[in-house]
Structure 1
Amino acid sequence: MSYAKILLKPLVSEKATKAKEDSNQVIFYVAPMANKIEIKAAVEEAFKVKVTEVNVVRRRPLKRARHGRPTSHVPGFKKAYVTLAEGDKIEFFEGV
């Protein structure tokens, strides 16, 4: 699979920015069927950096209910916390 199909988009939030500054981690939304080895290869190929560790978090889809009856649902997702090697970094919005 190409890295464009594995890495869906970067997560930009306060928690992601703090992880990037403190522990040199970048957080991505990834394809639901991607594993850690594929994610590591995709990040290294796309950004030309060295990845030391990949942690994966899944959130299952949720059903929203009102008065006991399911009315809608919230889709699930899969995130990858990618730890980069010392000295490497990925710039998303620097200098904007």
Structure 2
Amino acid sequence: MDYTQILIKPLITEKGSFLKEGQNQVAFYVHKDANKVQIKSAVEEAFGVQVRAVNVVVKKPLKKIFSRGRKRLFGSVSGYKKAYVTLAPGSKLDFIEGV
């Protein structure tokens, strides 16, 4: 897989900004079939930084019941996979600066 298929989009949240400042970590939504080695090489190739570690979190899809008055609607919430990438000391990603 190419790095454009592995890295879907960066995850920009308040927790992510605290991790970036404190522990030099960045979060990404990644492809569901990508493993840690592929994620590490994709980040290094895309941004030209050194990666020390990759932690992966998988959220499984959920089945939900929505109520509208007396009607019950059945649906689902899609799952996702995200990766917390720890950068090596001295490495920095600038695409999130100023957001």
The corresponding residue for 1:72 is 75
The corresponding residue for 1:56 is 56
Unmatched 5+ stretches in structure 1: none
> Residues 48 and 13 of structure 1: is their aligned pair in 2 closer, same or farther, counting only changes over 3 Å?
same
Rg comparison, structure with higher value: 2
Q: Deviations 1:5-27 (Å, cap 9, x if unpaired)?
A: 00000000000111100000000
Q: Deviations 1:15-71 (Å, cap 9, x if unpaired)?
A: 01111000000000000000000000000000000000000000000111147x661
Identity of aligned residues (%): 57
The corresponding residue for 1:12 is 12
Aligned residues: CA RMSD: 1.5
Unmatched 5+ stretches in structure 2: none
The corresponding residue for 2:3 is 3
What TM-score do the two structures reach when normalised by structure 1?
A: 0.92
What TM-score do the two structures reach when normalised by structure 2?
A: 0.89
